Amino acid sequence: MAVPMDQPPAAISAALTETNVRVTSSFRGARIVIYGAVFNPDTQPADVVVLVRGPQEPVRIARKTRVAGMWINSRPVVFEGAPGFYRAASTRPLRDIAPFGVLRRLGAGVDHLPINAPEEQRIETRYGVRDVVVSRLGADYGQWRQAVVRLKANARLYAEDERGVRFVDRGLFRAEVDLPTAAPIGEYRADIFLFQDGRPVASRSRTLTVEKAGLERTLYLFARERPWLYGLASVAVALLAGWAASVVFRRT
Amino acid sequence: MDIYLPIAEVSVNAPLLIALGAAVGFISGLFGIGGGFLMTPILVFLGIPPAVAVASEANHVAASSTSSVISYTRRRAVDFRMGGVLAAGGAAGSFLGVEVFRWLRLLGQADLVVSLSYLVFLGVIGGLMLTESLGAILRRRRGEPPKPRRDRRPPWLYGLPFKVRFPRSRLYISVLPPIALGVFVGILSAIMGVGGGFVLVPAMVYLLRMPAGVVVGTSLFQIIITTSLTSVLQAGRNQTVDVVLATMLLAGGVLGAQFGARASMRFRAEELRALLALIVLVVGLKMGLDLFIRPADPFVLVSGAG
């Protein structure tokens, strides 16, 4: 496609309705709205893809196998690179927007997340080829990796919404992302891409903070920073409550 | 009315939890047990992470046991010396149990050990208690005299050294069996999130041969000490005690325990035992049999330090 020199390139701008989600005792999840505008000078059809990623933490996963009639966990395997929360919203199915390689590079779609199990890997020479990455999980590796995504999706932490971005007016788009109560605390990052001809031509990044607030935060920090004192305090509450109840009941 | 728990990091229905606390507290006061073996599985079923359920439940058991032990003290139904010996063993057991639980979580086998413990201990104890108490009820219905209580205590109780007098229990036995029993119950307390009353009460009746009148009060006294310690250790080592969860449970629990302790005076001992045995058996089988059912998904996410 030949773009005349005087024409400005395609661009995208975006913002979040909320950049700070406060988790208090009444927290029941939150809805984040991502909205923005596409400046598309030529008539090329454009697609918008929104990727929201939560803080990363290693995932420990085990497989149940049957031993003496009982279903028992195998040795847990640690997978890294799995975000604590993931949403991919787009105007069309991702595979129609861009080819495999582009999606993989951007981590667009649950199948393209860079999840792997580094502790299980070793590098060796096979058939004279050096630096071959071999996983101890062997041929089942793909199943393990898919299970990570499936379990996270069941907990409503991972999802793909192929109609999640809607154009509400010419050049004006909107996407909704629901955070469940199980969404992890921390820094989230929203990447908004404009695709043309299977390539990302413009992008924007926005951050979102999910943090505990109020009493929740006080108790959480107390439990983290002074665990022994917290333990003593919680036992004191328990014993006092038990004693108080019996005193009240003796009078009545 | 939902409330978000700061440590468990899930949202739960507050009135439901308070009502559950009260129901389990009532059972606790009625049978003189902590009620943890009922509450922990219920909490896990409600979606609270097992590690948090086990640790917070120890706190709730401490509260409801305190609430009911005071009325037993007034009736002079607590053998403090025996309780103290049991608690000394219990303290050692909690230390051990909290470390074992930590290690099991790292191995990813915590759930298995918890389920198996429920199946084995609750199954065996529930089964034995049910047979014994149903026998007693049937004999009474037929008008037969109760089975004469065998006063010959097992000889090994007397062959051991370090004998101590327990005047309230009318016993003169070695301290080793109660200490061993305490250690065992302490470990269970940390792993299963229970007070251990369902083990202690039958063990005191059938092994130590303590008089029935002091068994329940003494068991509650030792449970308070063990669960308080477990609770502090779980908070300090594993940071899994959710004080909001525990407070909601104990708000209902301490009241329920009072009503339960009053209601217990209206029933015959063997009827109470039969009912408790039935509850114990059902919970044990439910927890254990899940191990034998093919899981919907062969993979599970396991908690524990990453």
Instruction: Give the H or E element holding residue A38.
Output: strand A30-39
Give the pLDDT band (50/70/90) at residue A11. confident
Q: Where are the alpha helices (DSSP H) in chain B?
A: 14-31, 36-45, 50-74, 80-107, 110-117, 123-141, 156-159, 176-192, 197-202, 212-233, 243-263, 269-289
Which chain B residues contact residue A78 at CB under 8 A?
Answer: 306
Residues in chain A: 252
Share of chain A above pLDDT 90, in %: 29
Q: Do B70 and A246 make contact, defined as CB atoms within 8 angstroms?
A: yes
Query: Which of A64, A75, A239 shows the shortest C-beta gap to B300?
Result: A64
* Dihedral angle of Cα A109, A111, A112, A113, to the nearest 10 degrees: 90
CB A241 within 8 A of CB B250: yes
**pLDDT at site B195:** 79
Query: d(Cα B57, Cα B226) in Å, to the nearest integer?
Result: 13
Min CA distance, A249 vs chain B (Å)? Answer: 7
Residue ranges covered by each domain of chain A: 11-213, 214-252
Query: d(Cα B87, Cα B49) in Å, to the nearest integer?
Result: 28
Query: d(Cα B60, Cα B227) in Å, to the nearest integer?
Result: 9
Min CA distance, A205 vs chain B (Å)? Answer: 28
**pLDDT at site A242:** 85
A104 at the B interface (CB within 8 A)? no
Task: Render pLDDT for A199-239 as a digit per residue (tens, 0 to 9).
Answer: 898 999 999 999 888 888 888 889 888 999 999 999 999 89
- Is the domain spanning A11-213 CATH 3.40.50.620? The answer is no
Task: Render pLDDT for A96-143 as a digit per residue (tens, 0 to 9).
Answer: 999 999 999 998 988 888 888 777 776 667 677 776 666 677 777 888
Q: Which stretches of chain B score pLDDT less than 50? A: 305-306
Give the pLDDT band (50/70/90) at residue A7. low
Tell me, what amino acid is at B194? V
**pLDDT at site B174:** 77
Give the pLDDT band (50/70/90) at residue A89. very high
Q: Do A243 and B59 make contact, defined as CB atoms within 8 angstroms?
A: no
Q: What is the mean pLDDT of chain A?
A: 85
